[in-house]
Structure 1
Amino acid sequence: MDWLSENAWAAWLGLAAVLGAAELVSLDLVLIMLAVGALAGGLTAALGAAVVAQVLVAGIASIAMLALVRPSLIAKLHQGPELRLGHSKLIGQRAVVTRRITGLEVGQVQLAGETWSAAPYDEHVTIEPGTTVEVFEIRGATAYVHPVPELGGD
């Protein structure tokens, strides 16, 4: 019994290793939080605290990890990149007008390496060829665009 009380840190370290290995099977991020608590208990044991203090520190650290760290990790793991598929990925991109666009006449733009039919987003605007535009909306096979303001001038 003397060996265990003198080497309690080793028991805590062994428990942390077992919990860490078990986490590799479960992948729930619960056992790893308990393993961190066991490491905290082991650190407390290495500092020479009583067994009651070791258990309290391990329990508090485990609960804190489960309550504070795990939820944010789970949220981060479940949050993936925003996937924009189809025509929606073209919204916000820039294009170059290749055929005049007016409110009465559908023109064309070069967008993402393809030629698209284009209409002005504001029907009172006329957009000449060579103008850079931004895609505001896609309806069917027509891109609704608006000219990009140019800085400078003079």
Structure 2
Amino acid sequence: MLLDFLIDYAWVVWVCLILIFLVIEVFTLDFTFLMLAVGSVAGLAVSFTPIDFWLQIVIAALVAVLLIFAVRPSLIRRLHRGDDPTLSNVDALLGQPATVTADFVGANGYVKLLNGETWTARLTPTSSSHPLEIGDRVVVVSIDGATAVVAPAERTAP
């Protein structure tokens, strides 16, 4: 019964698969489901010939796999060709030098980053225990919420 339905209405199955893959592609934007949709189009085209349904599946799968390995990589490269390599947000702050603007009390204080922003700061637990004073140079190691975790900058010999 189900097999007879698939044989008689294989085109409906292929159209449904095409629509499902295209909807998923809209949300993922990875081109994988687009290739599966195009493979399903090949299955749809073959469904109008007297080929068995299992062979339609094989043809659709082969077309999809071929597209995933042959076409998708070049589409991905073209999509990312104009990307801006500049770091932003928290990524741009990591490794940035800063200057202590208020003496650290315990392990907490304030620093002014190279970009001009003033942040609350906390000394990394692995840093030396000597207190940081106004004017000392530090480097941002990580960001914890709205607090810059800093480590003393290595001093260069005079």
Q: TM-score scaled to structure 1, two decimals?
A: 0.50
Q: Give the greater-gyration-radius structure (CA).
A: 1
